[in-house]
Structure 1
C-alpha cells in the first residue's frame, strides 16, 4: 500500500442492484488499488452477489442496520464506526445518507463529499420541501458536492445555493470493452425491445408495458416483436397484469435480476428507459456502448445522453402512444435503427469513458477541489 493511500468511506442506502451502486462498483474497480482503500457503509446491508462485482481486494463492508422510520441510534453507530475507521474521505450519496455528514463533521473527517445521483420517488425533481430544507441545513457541513446531471447541478446551484467552487459535475462512465456491439449484427426475428432496471414505481415500467401493447397491436401479423425486462421489484405484478390483460405476456420475458446484462443487451434491437426520474443512467450508457438506439423519457439527465433523432429519441414521460410510435419507427426502418445505434456508440467513445470519470473523481479525492469539466461532454480539458 502506498504511503499516499487514501481511505474512503462510501455511504449508501443499500449496496444492491442499481445504477448508483453500479457506479460505485465501476469507480472502485478503476481507482488504483495501491492508492486507495474503501469502506462501503450501508444503512440496509448489501447483496453478496452484487458485491462480487467488485474485483479488487481493498474493500470492506459495514452495515449500520438502520431500523425503518426514524432511527436516531444510527448516528451513534456511525460515530463509533468512523472513530474506528478514521477515513480520509466521507462520501455520502443521495438524500437517504445525507444526515450522516453531521457525524463526519463531528469526527473531523478531512474531506466530506456528497453526491446527488438522481431523484427519489418521494422527491421528484427536488420538489420535496422537507428534503430541500434538509439539504440547506446540512450545506455548511459538506466540503464538496457531486452532481451527475445538469438538472441536479442547476438545482444545487439555484435552489440550494451551493457555491460553484464547491460543485462538481461528473457524469458516469461506461466500460466500452465489456459493453460493445455484437460482432454479427445480422438479427433475426423477433425484434427485441429491451429495458434494464429495477421494477419500481420510479422506473415507470407501466408506461413501457402500455407502449408495447400499442405497438404489438399495430404489428400483429406483420412483425414479431418481443419485450424483455431485466430487473426485479415491487411493480412486477402490475406490469404482468397489463401484459396479460392485453394478450402480450407470451411475447414478453420478465427475466428478473441477472448477472449477464452485457450479453443480454447484445440481443436487444433497441433499448427503452421509461423512468419518471433519473440522474445519469448507467443503463443508457451501457446500451449506447452496445450500439443500440435508445428511447428515453425526457427527465433528469436522459436528454444529456440521448441526442434526439441522432442516437435515439427523447419522449414524453406520460405518453405511451408517443413511445409506441418511436418503437415502430425502428421496427419499420432497420437502417435508422443501425445509424442511431452507431451514433450512440460514437458518443460513448468520445465523451463517456470510465477513464474520464475516474480521472475526475481521483482529482477531487486528491485535491478536494473540482476538476474543470465541460458539463456537456464529461471530458477534461
Structure 2
C-alpha cells in the first residue's frame, strides 16, 4: 500500500464548489491527508483526515493568522522563510496579504499543491522551489475563453503551463486547449467529473407527447450560455405550433433577455427564475421533459450529467466536451453551436417521442453516467494523478 499523501486542495475559499468538496471527502475517505488553505466563508465539517488552515475575512482574523505563521516560520523554518521573502520581493508581491496566503503553505509544506483556478497560477509556481508538486485543474471559463479575451492572461499561461507538474482536465477538449498554451501532453490527465449518484435518484417519466413540453435550462447569467439564441429557438418552436413552457434558472433581471422575451411574444411561455438550492433545482429537473444547454462553450457541464442521471433528456449544443457525453440519438440530442434551427428541430423531435422511446433514451443516459461519471471513479483518477507525480 502506497504511503498516504499530504494534498492541499486550494480554491481560496472554504468550503468550495461541489466538485472540490466531493474530492475532499473522497480523498479523506481513502485516508489521504487533505489540507485546505484560504478564507472560511462559513462553518464546514470534515473528517479527521482533513486539516483546515483558514482565517475569516475580517482584519483581526487575518492579522492573528499572519502573526501565527510568521512566528512558526521564524522559530522552525527561518531559512526557507527568508528564501520565500526574497522571492516574493523580487516579484513585487511582498504585501502582508501575499504573506497571509503563502506563509501557512510554506510552513505545512504539503506533498502536492492542487490549484483549482488557472487564473491564479502565477501566485503559486513558487511552491515547486520548496519540493511541492504543482497540480492545476483546467476549468471551463479559465481555459476556454478567458485567455482569448485577456492577452496578458494568455502570456502568463504560456510562461507557466510548461512548469506545472500535472494538469487535471475534465474532458479531452479542454486538454487540447491546454496544449495550445504550452502544457506538456504527458502531464495532462483527463479525470471526468464524478457525481454522487445516490443523491440523484433515476426516475422514469410518464412522458406524454400530447401535453406541453416542459423545457429547463440551469446556469449563471452569462453571455457564454447564449440564452438569447435559446429564446430565438423558443420563438420558432412557437411558430411551429409546439406548446411548451421554458424555465431558465439562474437568470432573473437580465434586461436584454426580458426585452427579447417581450419582443418575441413569449411572456406566457418563458420564465426567468432566480438562483435555487441544489435540491430545488433537482426537483425542477425531475419535473422537466428536456434539459436544454444552448452554450457557446463548456468543458462538460455538470448540470447536464445531473439531468442525465435523473432521467431528463438533454438537448445540448456541440460545444467543448459535450460530445463526449451527449451521444446523438443515444444518450441525448446534440446540435451545432449557434444553430437555432437545429436546436428547434431537436426540441420538436423530443416532443414527438413515444413514451417508450423517451424512457429508453433516459435509461441509456443514466447508464452512461453510472459507467463513466461516478464519484468513486473521479476520486481514483485524481489519486492516480497525485501518486504518479513521483
Aligned to 1:224: 243
Aligned to 1:137: 159
Aligned to 1:112: 134
Return the alpha-carbon distance in structure 2 between the equivalents of residues 306 and 64 of structure 1: 41
| Cα distance change of structure 1 residues 55 and 329 upon mapping to structure 2, 3 Å threshold | farther
| Cα distance change of structure 1 residues 35 and 151 upon mapping to structure 2, 3 Å threshold | same
| Cα distance change of structure 1 residues 194 and 264 upon mapping to structure 2, 3 Å threshold | same
| Cα distance change of structure 1 residues 13 and 274 upon mapping to structure 2, 3 Å threshold | farther
| Cα distance change of structure 1 residues 41 and 96 upon mapping to structure 2, 3 Å threshold | farther
Query: Of 299, 306, 312, which residue of structure 1 is paired with 2:332?
Result: 312
| Cα distance change of structure 1 residues 80 and 323 upon mapping to structure 2, 3 Å threshold | same
Offset of 1:99 from its aligned partner?
1.3
Query: Of 289, 296, 310, which residue of structure 2 is paired with 1:290?
Result: 310
Higher mean alpha-carbon deviation, 343-352 vs 95-104, is at 95-104
> Per-residue displacement from partner, 1:175-225 (whole Å, max 9, x unpaired)?
222223325535684421111111111222222122122212322xxx531
Offset of 1:242 from its aligned partner?
1.7
Query: Of 326, 332, 335, which residue of structure 1 is paired with 2:346?
Result: 326
Aligned to 1:372: none
> Per-residue displacement from partner, 1:156-179 (whole Å, max 9, x unpaired)?
33x234333322111111222222
Q: How does 1:254-269 map to 2 (within 5 A)?
A: 254-259=272-277, 260=279, 261-269=281-289
Aligned to 2:106: 83
Offset of 1:231 from its aligned partner?
1.8
Return the alpha-carbon distance in structure 2 between the equivalents of residues 99 and 202 of structure 1: 25
Offset of 1:120 from its aligned partner?
4.3
Q: Unaligned regions of 5+ residues in structure 1, if any?
A: 66-70, 370-381
Answering whether residue 28 of structure 2 is matched by residue 32 of structure 1, we say yes
Give the CA RMSD over aligned residues.
3.2
Query: Of 297, 301, 305, which residue of structure 2 is paired with 1:277?
Result: 297
| Cα distance change of structure 1 residues 184 and 301 upon mapping to structure 2, 3 Å threshold | closer
Answering whether residue 203 of structure 2 is matched by residue 179 of structure 1, we say no
Aligned to 2:80: none
> Per-residue displacement from partner, 1:90-115 (whole Å, max 9, x unpaired)?
11134322212224235x25221011
Retained in 1: the 8 A contact 2:143–2:174?
Answer: no
* Number of residue pairs the alignment of both structures matches: 346
Aligned to 1:251: 269
TM-score, reference length from structure 1? 0.79
Q: Unaligned regions of 5+ residues in structure 2, if any?
A: 59-91
